[in-house]
Amino acid sequence: MRIRISLLKMMMRQCLPATLIGLPLAVLYVLLTRQPLDWANPWMGLFVLGHSIALAFGLGRYRSPGFAFLYTRGYSRDELWLHKLLVTVLAVLTVWLPLALLIWLPIRSTVQDVLFRSPYSLILMLREVAVPWAWLAGYAILLPSFHYVWVRRAQPLAGGDGAVLLASGTVIVIGTLMLFGWLPHWFWILTWALAVVVSVTNLGAGLLLHRTIEVQ
């Protein structure tokens, strides 16, 4: 399948509001929060959730005139779905990578030292080096589920409510795990394995449903 730049640009415009709002807010939070960040940080968890919802909404309005127009341009259903996934990855990296670089370079620890004389500044980079990967994992779990919701709800048959419940359950499970920081090592291995299975299943189910979607 060929990558169509014009199609990518059109879809990227759907993500632009979420990027323009989300990126500066997240950058300011990462730079200015004084406490060390960890994977269970509730504010960054809410940010990943909100950003994922915004991206899924922007790319999932199948009944909008813009998306109906795409289906008249000769693109195959697989092309549209795969371009949508590529745009999702690019939109996530546009926000996630600057945040990761703030921690890895380390810009965040320098700002904390200069502005706040933080006693944590010397250990921030070592302590937080793995945190951006947890944020990226959150995107990888949530976005396939949210994309599946929009495809399921666009189908003429019943089932959209069940997809919403599935996505809501995923969010509740992640939130619960974030509240309980200490759990046995085997439990985390099982949890990550199940998360991979759920994400891959949602992607596959979304593609299969997208091939039969009705555009009005």
pLDDT tens-digit map of 47-78: 999 999 999 988 876 556 566 666 666 677 78
Indicate yes or no: pTM above 0.85. yes
Q: How far is CA 10 from CA 62, 70, 95, 143, in A?
A: 14, 10, 19, 20
- Give yes or no for a contact between 133 and 104, defined as CB atoms under 8 angstroms apart: no
pLDDT given at position 158: 57
pLDDT tens-digit map of 90-114: 999 999 999 999 999 989 999 998 9
Closest CA to 21 of 77, 115, 91: 91
Q: Can you tell me the distance from the alpha carbon of 40 to that of 169, in angstroms, rounded to the nearest whole number?
A: 18
Position 40 pLDDT exceeds 60: yes
Q: Which amino acid is located at 170 in the chain?
A: T
pLDDT given at position 68: 60
Q: How far is CA 11 from CA 43, 61, 74, 183, in A?
A: 28, 11, 16, 40
Q: Can you tell me the distance from the alpha carbon of 167 to that of 172, in angstroms, rounded to the nearest whole number?
A: 9
